[in-house]
Amino acid sequence: MAGRNKEKEQDKVRDLRAGLALLWGEQEQPTRGPKPKLTPLRIAEAAAALADAEGLDAVSMSRVAAGFGVSAMALYRYVPGKTELVELMVESVLAEGPDLAGVPAGDWRAAVTEWTRQCARVYAAHPWLLTATAMRRQLLGPCQLRWLDAALAALEPTGLGGAQRHRVFLLLIGLVRNHAQQRNEREEEQEREWDRLTGELLARHAARFPALTRAIAEGAFDPDGTDPLRFGLDRILDGVEALVAAGA
Amino acid sequence: MAGRNKEKEQDKVRDLRAGLALLWGEQEQPTRGPKPKLTPLRIAEAAAALADAEGLDAVSMSRVAAGFGVSAMALYRYVPGKTELVELMVESVLAEGPDLAGVPAGDWRAAVTEWTRQCARVYAAHPWLLTATAMRRQLLGPCQLRWLDAALAALEPTGLGGAQRHRVFLLLIGLVRNHAQQRNEREEEQEREWDRLTGELLARHAARFPALTRAIAEGAFDPDGTDPLRFGLDRILDGVEALVAAGA
DNA sequence: CGCAACTGCTGATGACATAAACAGTTTAGG
DNA sequence: CCTAAACTGTTTATGTCATCAGCAGTTGCG
């Protein structure tokens, strides 16, 4: 048992190293043997497309391999395992990096807003991205770093220190991911039935949740036109502005 | 195929109904037959304990059942499926509801801060909670609603409208979950190796990520004593304060 | 040329969720 | 009181999945 654990840890380190090499394309390609039919990138893109179409659960080694007309095990020649495949999927989808060229220089609010919008757009286009990046310690690929870099750059005109810029960045992806989660939830088909049942339940137990009942009475859950991402972003930016004004 | 789909949708509606009934304990219990050895609640608690100890992946029907000395299939007499079990686990962990009794009435900043802290504490105590509640449309159980109710109540002194109180609430759980994710990442064992490899990689590609490099030079990633949850919360609360001041 | 480094493939393994069918246990209702 | 219905937990089976081992064919370096 103890030995098993040790072995596992060493494996993990190797996996880490291998995974990073894969993400950064830093592996010498072989010269011998037959020409490979695939590449890690093409596999990842196919897997991402599959996830776009049928959800992350539909992405199994067999399904992805079948898309190329090869057996499941063939993929293992390109990718160490499913974990790494998912990491590559994330990278492939983040490849279209943030483009903040159109933003007036020095206007950090505009820059951050644009960054956030673009990031949210990616999450919206690929609902599985949220789950794929949840929980697991992310290995940072070049594309992820480009996004991070762009956000930090956008924040530079604030004059905030490095640590604070980083913290604001964390706040921002948090916002985006949170927004994505809410979007994903809304997208599910059973929505109407869900609303009905929940509403019913709420009416039945109104007494137990007075504040909630009041909020509902004020229309808290009625869909209004306003963009929830906008709301959160404005709150956060106002908060940052206050921090900047305080002269940190 | 079409028929299959239709069937599945109907099943989903039934599942929804059954799941809610389970969460709210609204099911007539039977009189015939042998006395049940278990209850959904006890199962959920055992499963949650298992997840606490070994992670969410360790929670399989067999493992949970083994903890009671019964066969895996026995659990299906109490819980429709694994999905519902996870929902019950979430509820069971959220049972120790928020307690805002010690907060001076009318001080919404203090109340919201306390709510956020307590919520974060639950997420910290049960790292799997984040994954368990990610993605999937949550069926709202009574405990989840209690948390929601408490947050909305804490926000009432702001004078904000129902819809805005709700939006602020969304911002707050977003913050908590975001914080939890970062905590979870930090908790992994391979941390040191991860830092080393990532740092190496970053040094090698510094030119590609100028803003990131600058931020790092300013110590953006050095651990300082400050609480990241606190930082985000203060930013958000400042933003809300600005909104309140604007007299919405 | 010949072997080493590759390729992709088949088959096996073990974990998992869950369906189906069965055997024992209560208790409501005649 | 007795029986059948409503339950209980169990064993067995199915299908899916990731992944390991071993094989047969392919290619280019020495």
DSSP code per residue over B156-217: GGGT--HHHHHHHHHHHHHHHHHHHHHHHHHHSTTHHHHHHHHHHHHHHTGGG-HHHHHHHH
Residue B6 is predicted with a pLDDT of 34
Residue ranges of chain A whose pLDDT lies below 70: 1-14, 135, 188-190, 248
Degrees, nearest 5: CA angle B24-B29-B35: 125
- The residue among A197 and B94 whose pLDDT is bigger is B94
Residue B9 has pLDDT above 60, yes or no: no
The residue whose two tokens read 């203060």 is B234
Residue A135 is predicted with a pLDDT of 64
- The residue among B217 and B190 whose pLDDT is bigger is B217
Degrees, nearest 5: CA angle B139-B141-B142: 155
Share of chain B above pLDDT 70, in %: 92
d(CA B170, CA B236): 11
Distance of CA B235 to the CA centre of its chain: 22
Show the domains of chain B with their CATH numbers: 10-27+34-93 (1.10.10.60), 108-187+218-245 (1.10.357.10)
State the count of interchain CB pairs (< 8 A) between A and B: 226
Question: Averaged over B112-123, what is the pLDDT?
Answer: 98
Which residue in B has a C-alpha nearest to residue A129's C-alpha?
B135
Classified as helix, coil or strand, B111 is helix
Residue B15 has pLDDT above 80, yes or no: no
The residue whose two tokens read 């064992």 is B189
Residue B140 is predicted with a pLDDT of 83
- The residue among B194 and B168 whose pLDDT is bigger is B168
A185 Cβ under 8 Å from any chain B Cβ: yes
Cβ distance B132 to A189 under 8 Å?
no
Q: What is the mean pLDDT of chain B?
A: 90
Residue A14 is predicted with a pLDDT of 63
Residues of B in contact with A132 (CB under 8 A): none
d(CA B162, CA B151): 12
In chain B, positions 118-147, which contact chain A (CB-CB < 8 Å)?
A: 130-131, 134-135, 137-138, 140, 142, 145-146
d(CA B69, CA B62): 10
Span A44-81, pLDDT tens digits: 999 999 999 999 999 999 999 999 999 999 999 999 99
Residue B224 is predicted with a pLDDT of 80
B27 pLDDT band (50/70/90 cuts)?
Answer: confident
d(CA B240, CA B248): 11
The residue whose two tokens read 């069937």 is B7
B59 pLDDT band (50/70/90 cuts)?
Answer: very high
Kindly determine whether residue B170 and residue A234, on different chains, have CB atoms separated by under 8 Å.
Answer: no
Q: Is any atom of strand D within 7 angstroms of residue A83's beta carbon?
A: yes
Residue A7 is predicted with a pLDDT of 38
d(CA A226, CA B137): 22
d(CA B166, CA B152): 7
Q: Looking only at Cα atoms, what is the longest distance across chain A?
A: 74
Cβ distance A121 to A106 under 8 Å?
no
Residue A12 is predicted with a pLDDT of 62
Residue B11 is predicted with a pLDDT of 56
d(CA A58, CA A40): 19
Its sign, for the CA torsion A179, A185, A191, A193, is negative
B46 Cβ under 8 Å from any chain A Cβ: no
Closest to A248 (Cα-Cα) out of A168, A180, A182, A187: A168
Cβ distance A175 to A167 under 8 Å?
no
Residue B29 has pLDDT above 90, yes or no: no
Residue A198 is predicted with a pLDDT of 87
Q: Indicate the range of A35-49, B7-21, B210-224, B226-240 predicted with least confidence.
A: B7-21
Residues of A in contact with B138 (CB under 8 A): 185
Distance B44 CA to D15 C1' (A): 27
Residue A136 is predicted with a pLDDT of 72
Its sign, for the CA torsion B150, B153, B155, B161, is positive
B204 pLDDT band (50/70/90 cuts)?
Answer: very high
d(CA A178, CA B228): 17
Closest to B131 (Cα-Cα) out of B169, B172, B185: B185
d(CA B115, CA B237): 13
